[in-house]
Amino acid sequence: MDTDVEGRRVALLSLHSSPVAPPGLSDVGGMNVYVRRLATELTSRRWEVDVFTRRTDRSAPDAVPLDGGGRLVHLTAGPPRRIPKSALPLHLPALVSAFGAFLEREGRSYDVLHSHYWLSGLAAMRYHALAGHPAPHVHMFHTLARLKERYGGGTDDNDSTLRPDGERCLIGRADVIVGATEEERTDMIALYGKTPRRYEIIPPGVDLDLFYPRDPIMCRSILGVRAGRVILFVGRQDKLKGLETLLHAVRALPDPVLDDLQVLVVGGRDALPASGRGPEHRLVAQLGLDRIVSFQGTVSQLELPVYYSAATLCAVPSAYESFGMVAIEAMACQTPVVAFRVGGLATTIAHGRTGLLAAPGNVDEYALRLHEGLTTADLSPMGRRARMSVQRYRWERAAGATADLYEDLIGEYVSAGRPVAR
């Protein structure tokens, strides 16, 4: 279908986390990269794109242009600063009100509302119910509370107790739920007892023009890495991301491997104690890995390919990933990934061919997979196959499928006598 229809408008709602925040901090990860890049790709298809987020800086303008196209709109709801995730639902009515007020001031309406994460979904759902001129509502969870509980061993103390019920409501109410895999739909039905009205599988994209293999020796020189073996971890300091698991697995490696190994940790925390050392730093010291583990802090998307290319292996020890953007970016750089066989990682990684997989939660097996990869004489064939395997995740394909979905929904609304506001 030709989806280059000039004048279509879409509102992308990412209310709990700004898509321009640097990845690697808490609540800032693959979803933020996804929303920002989707805005760019839709703009290139002549869609008018506004991305909405909650204001966390009093001085931020109401609307600013995004690099690559579209606008970022700041909605004032609650204090203009970062607040705990558990407190965000308290400001949901204000977010809905601010969204409606912005549209009224601008005399604006949208052909599609596309929400990301459960809080944005509830805001879109409430606005959808209140608006006199409804628009199709597409929702992406990116992660689900019940799955985090299943694989993380319990509830997240930082999350709202309202989240599971909010997600259950969204599953049954949104016009379409978009997920990365069929497994995600199966999990929704099993864990929430709700079946989506419509479920579409549209995996996220990867920028293959940015993430491509560089010379490993040159990249290690740039990063000041002298070890012959390098493990890279990219992710925020969140229990589900598995940094602690990785550190224990590294400690289990034999001394001859450890003697020539460096572990680079990319990502950080919003704030550190006065000592400058978080729990992950203390664990490194307890395990005697100070000489091996290097914390790099947050790194921009433009810098990441250098890290991926410098690595022998990219470790993605997440207890669960609905898709796993880090894994796809690493594979695009021809760096094999070691992960658990969970969620989207079980779909994107072919064990022994494009990466290495361990049984979910099995730290001993994960250590064996790391050892296998680090001691393989030549990983380049696996790396080349990994690069080839992610060609199907080009952003052009992901954005094209999303735009096709929008057009299909608009057509359904019109056919049903529910004309979309223009």
**What pLDDT is recorded for position 205?**
92
Distance of alpha carbon 230 from alpha carbon 228, whole angstroms: 7
**What pLDDT is recorded for position 1?**
44
**What pLDDT is recorded for position 3?**
46
| This prediction's pTM | 0.90
**What pLDDT is recorded for position 379?**
97
**What pLDDT is recorded for position 407?**
96
Mean pLDDT of the residues in the chain: 91
102-106, 216-220, 417-421: range with highest mean pLDDT: 216-220
**276: pLDDT strictly greater than 90:** no
What are the structure tokens assigned to 60, written together? 């931020």
**What pLDDT is recorded for position 282?**
94
> What is the arithmetic mean of pLDDT over 384-398?
96
Q: Using CB atoms within 10 A of its CB, is residue 61 exposed (0-12), middle (13-18) or buried (19+)?
A: exposed
- List the domains of the chain with CATH numbers: 9-205+394-415 (3.40.50.2000), 216-392 (3.40.50.2000)
**28: pLDDT strictly greater than 60:** no
Q: Of the ranges 118-122, 236-240, 367-371, 379-383, which one carries the lowest mean pLDDT score?
A: 236-240
**What pLDDT is recorded for position 124?**
95
pLDDT tens profile 125-180: 999 888 766 799 999 999 899 998 888 777 777 788 899 999 999 999 999 999 99
Distance of alpha carbon 229 from alpha carbon 91, whole angstroms: 48
- 84's CB contacts (< 8 A; 6+ apart) are 158
**What pLDDT is recorded for position 419?**
58
**What pLDDT is recorded for position 92?**
95
